[in-house]
Amino acid sequence: MSKSQFWLKACNRCGGDLREVVGIEGPYVMCVQCGHELGFAEERALRGLAPEPGAVAAGAKRRRVAA
Ligand SMILES: [Zn+2]
């Protein structure tokens, strides 16, 4: 149950490691090094899924804005 996924050196911002974090609204992926949070489309691409039509238009569902 507590197994979270890891993507080494997959951050497109700093080249750091991405980690799946389970938040209140569900799992999301963020960078361990810089705190960059992946948008919906980026996350799907990372998981090897095709971007959902409309997901890009919806503007990458941001839960938080990293300063
Ligand atoms: Zn990063």
What's the 3-state SS for the chain? CCCCCEECCCCCCCCCCEEEEEECCEEEEEECCCCCECCHHHHHHHCCCCCCCCCCCCCCCCCCCCC
CA of 10 to the centre of ligand 1 (A): 8
Ligand 1 center from residue 9 Cα (angstroms):
8
Residue 60 has pLDDT above 60, yes or no: no
Return the pLDDT at 3.
73
> pLDDT value at position 25?
85
CA of 54 to the centre of ligand 1 (A): 26
CA-to-CA dists, residue 10 to 18, 24, 25, 53, 63, angstroms: 6, 24, 23, 24, 20
Per residue in 8-59, pLDDT tens? Answer: 999 999 999 999 999 898 889 999 999 999 998 899 999 898 877 665 555 5
Of residues 10 and 61, more confidence is placed in: 10
pLDDT score for 51: 75
pTM: 0.67
* Separation CA 64–CA 67 (nearest Å): 9
